[in-house]
A and B are shown apart, each in its own frame.
Chain A
Amino acid sequence: MASEIKTGPQLRPSVLRRLLRGAQLELRMLLLLLLLAVALSLISPYFFTLSNILNLMDQSVITGIVAIGQTFVILIAGIDLSVGSLTGATGIILGLSLAELPLPIAILAAIVAGGLAGFVNGFIITKGRVAAFIVTLGMMSVGRSMAYVLSGANSISQLPDSLGDLASSTILGVPTNFAVLVVLYGVAWYYLTFTKGGRTIYAIGSNAEAARTAGLRVDFYSVLVYVISGALSAVAAVFLAARILSIDPIAATGLELDTIAAVVIGGASLFGGRGTIIGTFIGVVIMVLIRNGLNLLNVNPYWQGTAIGSIIVAAVLLERFLSAREGMHRGQGEEG
């Protein structure tokens, strides 16, 4: 209410307090993550071993990379269901190209193919005004089908060792693939926080109409997020192929759901405009920890789906609950 705000000399709210308030959700999720880690290390002596930690890092890479693109898409209130099948299809493209082309060119080819598929998604969604759910559902089917067609429904193995280095080598003791993941998150964080494009993406998700009216390039960035998501699916395919030096047309099935779950657990709103890349990272690690924990605890694999599904729904419930409380708080500003 207006009456509450008075002019005059005021102390600036401390920077720390502001940061904390802005990052409340991430902090809560980080706390959850730490609790999980502590609980798992108490339950299983194996949890805090080097090999398991390396294993955790390795398992974060694929979901983690794709979840960056999914975050961009969800921030504009979209959704990308095609990431899993695009990872499969671009993996096959990578495998086939490696037979003819040097590694960097083959990787580039896969990334361009992924970006193109993402462009098709984004273009139809933005210019054709078709629901993202429908368009990416279609692309999900097309992508998987292309993976089978291109590979003749066979897996491609005996990929060159130079590709395998991406998974097995280390940089300063950190596995290369995990290091790449961290760098990608750093870049994405910087982009979303400190650039025109990043803020435009948030503005689109929060109120596309107002963003357009203020002169922001809504259509361009609405397509761009899908291009990024498609291209990152191909990057994930590279690391997936590097891990076992083989790629299967069925690879990465269900990855779209894992990434959506990670983004949502990380605090993003499926209605757009709210969420952070750091939250997504925490979401990815929580997903990996839960799977790892369930394995360490020898939980029947058939039950793992139930556990993970329940956790996703619980996270969204929490988000609804919190934003409802926030909504009441916001209600004050509305005056009639």
Chain B
Amino acid sequence: MSLETNFAVPGEPALAIDARGIWKAFERTQALSGASFALRAGEIHALVGANGAGKSTFSRIVSGHLSADRGEIFMFGRPTRFGSAREAIQGGVTMVMQETSLAPDLSVLENIYLPELGAAGRLSWRNLTSRAESLLDQFGQRAHLPLRRPVRELSAGQLQMVEILKALALDAKVIIFDEPTASFSPNEVDRLFDIMRLLAQGGKALVFVSHRLEEIFEITDRITVFREGRTVASAAPAAEMRPAELVRLMVGREIADIYARGVDGRGEKSTGKPVIEVEHLACAPRVKDVSFTVNSGEILGLAGLIGAGRSECVEALFGLRRIERGTVRLSGSPFTARAPIEAVRAGIGFIPEDRRRQGLVQDFTVRENLLLAHLGQRRSLGLGYDERSASVARLLEELGLPQRILDEGILTLSGGMQQKVVLARWILMSPKLLILDEPTRGVDIATRSTIYAMIRRLARQGMAVLLVSSDFEEVIGLSDRIVVMSDGSDVTSIPSALVDVEKLAMFAAPRSSAEATRSILEMLVQRFGGIAYWISMDGDRLYCFDSVAVQNAPEIGFARGSFPEIVDVSIPRALRQRPDRFLLEPAGATLLVPLRGHRGHDLGYVGLTLANDNALPDAAAVRASILDGPTTPATSVAARRH
């Protein structure tokens, strides 16, 4: 250790990372102009900024992937300059990337210890396994991550977990999470946040790079904001910052509620005739039985978690997958697209989920990317670009894109601008139905509000819009109506005014994560008969997320997926009073038991209604059997004791 080690102020621990005046240019573009950043050990620090603010560049400099043109970085008080990502890892800095850098054919275990595989000598698999298991135990993840499984078979959340473990195996002191939740389901986000908290408690310094404001406020201790390569807010305590303030810092101006609906508010809009009617659609392996209708002028949200089959469902409508069963009617007549071109010619536009893989032709200019769908549907030999030049110019104007970018390569644009180009490509075709699959993933907040405004205006002009999104706030904010999908089937169709993020998440819960409640319900009807259900109540309305009934169970007026007003169901008294014993009504005898999640949040009620002619079981016994839960070990739902 050199003398420099201890020049920090006595009594105050040296900062884990102290970066000052970092400059970085790429050819003509100045990415960072004197940015600074101070990270303490044991904290979770948000690094926030709009697209192009330089946060990715900065993360890559700190983690050794790039080198700065100018500036100093101190790590625990010592000047540091990593020549490569490898050096940074050895120095204790790791970046967990959005797109993982794992070897897909190797097992989880091999990936975690990949850096050690290069070491000389024989590997002790037993030793590695026990080390990995103790790491997993430390974070309570042993049940979620099978060490022997090849990485290619893992979910997005599990991949990220492997990346994190890989960092921990190398004894990382600073871990940078670069938009880790972009492809996560809410459950996975929860799990990641639990792990991040444990890491911070263990003294690690964490950087959380994200666009999602609600996540930033949930998980981080302090916030640093970058704008145009400069630090505009440095290490501000998260508890003292308001979301509106943060947005203003990010974009440099006030942005009204990005979901603002303008004059014609939600619900007042009249929607037109059905544009697409989907009935009992199935296409292996994910989509099992989906039905919904989108009317002209309507924005229908297709909500659900990753793996629920939403993307597969819309890809089938667009001819990218084969439909196995079910019928689709477009403007009233039967329709099946065997290839996208048939869907395009029939008047469907499709903005795919993965912009880089399915959206952009990387070698083309902005103009050719913009006119790609035009080219595809064209029947004559020539290009016909000129016919479209007036509408192209108008569209660029509307989307706030400068005309002169037309002849630039598409990859010179930021992610948000690229997405605008893909959107414009389809608007140009004036489709009857526009399908948007995760239209704002990785898009900054300013661009998002432009995109939302555009989508809303298209719907006002009579276009039918089908929106697929994992971002429940976005679905609720943008859609008129929401169809929730879970495990390949539609669970409910609900006006977005009647639902909030929590209820949507419960409707969308896949069997795997709702297994606990599902098996409680099954156990209840098996043991006591009648109908068992998982519900939540909000004011005068009831939401039923799941229900299980025996034959000739009492008729209670709701079932899985329904959301009636309490006055309209057959057991209103029990639902209002929720006593801790069976309450008798004409329809049956009802007992409700409240549920809590493992982090203490409200998960609604499990209810059991039995026919009145049955001998009633002891309420305490029923509650006890719910408390003890089903036999599945993965139970994370426990009933609240009174």
Q: Is B363 an interface residue (CB 8 A)?
A: yes
Q: Which of A137-187 contact B (CB under 8 A)?
A: none
Q: Is A331 an interface residue (CB 8 A)?
A: yes
How many Å lie between the Cα of A217 and that of B361 in the bound state? Answer: 15
One of A195, A197, A273, A334 near B415 (C-beta < 8 A) = A334
Q: B414 touching A196 by the CB < 8 A rule?
A: no
23 contacts between A and B (CB under 8 A): A1-B414, A2-B51, A10-B402, A10-B403, A10-B404, A12-B404, A18-B407, A196-B382, A200-B375, A207-B357, A209-B357, A210-B352, A211-B376, A213-B318, A213-B320, A213-B358, A214-B376, A216-B341, A217-B376, A329-B26, A333-B410, A333-B414, A335-B415
Q: Is B259 an interface residue (CB 8 A)?
A: no
Nearest chain-B residue to A10 (Cβ)? B404
Q: B27 touching A329 by the CB < 8 A rule?
A: yes
Q: Which of A178-224 contact B (CB under 8 A)?
A: 194-197, 199-200, 202-203, 205-207, 209-217, 219
| With contact pairs A6-B402, A203-B372, A336-B98 given, residues A331 and B361 touching in the complex (Cβ less than 8 Å) | no
Q: Is B362 an interface residue (CB 8 A)?
A: yes
Q: A333 touching B411 by the CB < 8 A rule?
A: yes
Contact pattern, B 406-430, Cβ under 8 Å of A = 1, otherwise 0: 0101111111111000000100000
Q: Is B8 an interface residue (CB 8 A)?
A: no
Nearest chain-B residue to A197 (Cβ)? B381
| Nearest chain A CB to B108 CB, angstrom units | 24
| Nearest chain B CB to A328 CB, angstrom units | 7
Q: A217 touching B341 by the CB < 8 A rule?
A: yes
One of B228, B359, B407, B412 near A332 (C-beta < 8 A) = B412
Q: Is A104 an interface residue (CB 8 A)?
A: no
Q: Which 3 A-B pairs have the closest CB atoms?
A: A215-B376, A2-B52, A215-B344
Interface centre among B52, B54, B209, B318 (most CB of A within 10 A): B52
Q: Is B229 an interface residue (CB 8 A)?
A: yes
Q: B361 touching A332 by the CB < 8 A rule?
A: no
Q: B26 touching A213 by the CB < 8 A rule?
A: no
Contact pattern, A 313-336, Cβ under 8 Å of B = 1, otherwise 0: 000000000000000111111111
Task: Give the chain A neighbours of B344 by CB distance below 8 A.
Answer: 214-215
| With contact pairs A8-B402, A210-B358, A333-B414 given, residues A3 and B52 touching in the complex (Cβ less than 8 Å) | yes
Beyond the given pairs A7-B401, A213-B359, A333-B411, 20 more chain A to chain B contacts, judged by CB atoms under 8 angstroms and listed by A's residue number, are: A1-B26, A3-B52, A3-B228, A3-B229, A4-B30, A5-B405, A8-B402, A207-B360, A210-B361, A212-B340, A213-B340, A213-B358, A214-B372, A215-B343, A219-B339, A273-B362, A330-B411, A332-B26, A336-B98, A336-B442
Q: Is B216 an interface residue (CB 8 A)?
A: no
Task: Give the chain B neighbours of A333 by CB distance below 8 A.
Answer: 409-415, 418
Q: Is B400 an interface residue (CB 8 A)?
A: yes
Task: Give the chain B neighbours of A210 by CB distance below 8 A.
Answer: 352, 357-361, 372
Q: Which of A52-98 contact B (CB under 8 A)?
A: none
Interface centre among B339, B382, B403 (most CB of A within 10 A): B339
Q: A196 touching B26 by the CB < 8 A rule?
A: no
Q: Is B37 an interface residue (CB 8 A)?
A: no
Q: B320 touching A216 by the CB < 8 A rule?
A: no
Q: B340 touching A5 by the CB < 8 A rule?
A: no
Task: Give the chain B neighbours of A329 by CB distance below 8 A.
Answer: 26-27
| Nearest chain A CB to B283 CB, angstrom units | 17
Q: Is A243 an interface residue (CB 8 A)?
A: no
Nearest chain-A residue to B410 (Cβ)? A333
Q: A199 touching B412 by the CB < 8 A rule?
A: no
Q: A4 touching B29 by the CB < 8 A rule?
A: yes
Q: Is A13 an interface residue (CB 8 A)?
A: yes
Q: Which of B49-77 contact A (CB under 8 A)?
A: 50-56
Q: B415 touching A328 by the CB < 8 A rule?
A: no
Q: Is B373 an interface residue (CB 8 A)?
A: yes
Q: Which of B118-135 contact A (CB under 8 A)?
A: none
Q: A1 touching B29 by the CB < 8 A rule?
A: yes
Nearest chain-A residue to B31 (Cβ)? A1
One of B56, B358, B364 near A206 (C-beta < 8 A) = B364
| Nearest chain B CB to A93 CB, angstrom units | 30
Q: Is B179 an interface residue (CB 8 A)?
A: yes
One of A5, A194, A215 near B373 (C-beta < 8 A) = A215
How many Å lie between the Cα of A329 and that of B368 in the bound state? Answer: 20
Q: B362 touching A206 by the CB < 8 A rule?
A: yes
| Nearest chain B CB to A211 CB, angstrom units | 6
| Nearest chain B CB to A43 CB, angstrom units | 39
Q: Which of B307-354 contact A (CB under 8 A)?
A: 318, 320, 339-341, 343-345, 350, 352
Q: Is B487 an interface residue (CB 8 A)?
A: no
Q: B29 touching A199 by the CB < 8 A rule?
A: no
Q: A2 touching B413 by the CB < 8 A rule?
A: yes
How many Å lie between the Cα of A13 and that of B412 in the bound state? Answer: 16
Task: Give the chain B neighbours of A331 by CB distance below 8 A.
Answer: 26
Q: B360 touching A215 by the CB < 8 A rule?
A: no
| Nearest chain B CB to A60 CB, angstrom units | 28
Nearest chain-A residue to B416 (Cβ)? A2
How many Å lie between the Cα of A5 and that of B401 in the bound state? Answer: 9
How many Å lie between the Cα of A336 and that of B97 in the bound state? Answer: 9
| Nearest chain A CB to B46 CB, angstrom units | 15
| Nearest chain B CB to A39 CB, angstrom units | 34
How many Å lie between the Cα of A320 and that of B122 in the bound state? Answer: 37
Nearest chain-B residue to A198 (Cβ)? B383
Q: Is B28 an interface residue (CB 8 A)?
A: yes
Interface centre among B51, B400, B401 (most CB of A within 10 A): B51
Q: B407 touching A5 by the CB < 8 A rule?
A: no
Q: Is B450 an interface residue (CB 8 A)?
A: no
How many Å lie between the Cα of A10 and that of B396 in the bound state? Answer: 15
Q: Is B378 an interface residue (CB 8 A)?
A: yes
How many Å lie between the Cα of A195 and that of B402 in the bound state? Answer: 27
| With contact pairs A7-B402, A8-B402, A216-B376 given, residues A202 and B27 touching in the complex (Cβ less than 8 Å) | no
| With contact pairs A196-B383, A210-B360, A336-B56 given, residues A216 and B375 touching in the complex (Cβ less than 8 Å) | yes
Task: Give the chain A neighbours of B382 by CB distance below 8 A.
Answer: 194-196
Q: A195 touching B381 by the CB < 8 A rule?
A: yes
| Nearest chain A CB to B427 CB, angstrom units | 13
Q: Is B377 an interface residue (CB 8 A)?
A: yes
| Nearest chain B CB to A95 CB, angstrom units | 35
Task: Give the chain B neighbours of A334 by CB distance below 8 A.
Answer: 56, 411, 415
| Nearest chain B CB to A276 CB, angstrom units | 12
How many Å lie between the Cα of A199 and that of B179 in the bound state? Answer: 35
Q: Is B178 an interface residue (CB 8 A)?
A: yes
Q: B417 touching A2 by the CB < 8 A rule?
A: yes
| Nearest chain B CB to A75 CB, angstrom units | 10
Task: Give the chain A neighbours of B405 by CB distance below 8 A.
Answer: 5
Task: Give the chain A neighbours of B360 by CB distance below 8 A.
Answer: 207, 210
Q: A202 touching B352 by the CB < 8 A rule?
A: no
Q: Which of B86-112 contact A (CB under 8 A)?
A: 98
| Nearest chain B CB to A40 CB, angstrom units | 35
Q: B178 touching A330 by the CB < 8 A rule?
A: no
How many Å lie between the Cα of A216 and that of B371 in the bound state? Answer: 11
Task: Give the chain A neighbours of B411 by CB distance below 8 A.
Answer: 330, 333-334
| Nearest chain A CB to B339 CB, angstrom units | 8
How many Å lie between the Cα of A328 and that of B376 in the bound state? Answer: 31
| Nearest chain B CB to A288 CB, angstrom units | 29
How many Å lie between the Cα of A138 and that of B356 in the bound state? Answer: 34
Nearest chain-B residue to A213 (Cβ)? B358
Task: Give the chain B neighbours of A7 by CB distance below 8 A.
Answer: 400-402
Q: A211 touching B373 by the CB < 8 A rule?
A: no
Contact pattern, A 3-43, Cβ under 8 Å of B = 1, otherwise 0: 11111101011000010000000000000000000000000
How many Å lie between the Cα of A210 and that of B352 in the bound state? Answer: 9
Q: Which of A226-270 contact B (CB under 8 A)?
A: none
Q: B425 touching A214 by the CB < 8 A rule?
A: yes
One of A1, A199, A335 near B368 (C-beta < 8 A) = A199
Task: Give the chain A neighbours of B377 by CB distance below 8 A.
Answer: 215
Nearest chain-B residue to A275 (Cβ)? B363
Q: B361 touching A207 by the CB < 8 A rule?
A: yes
Q: A336 touching B178 by the CB < 8 A rule?
A: yes
| Nearest chain B CB to A194 CB, angstrom units | 6
Q: B372 touching A216 by the CB < 8 A rule?
A: yes
Q: A335 touching B51 by the CB < 8 A rule?
A: yes
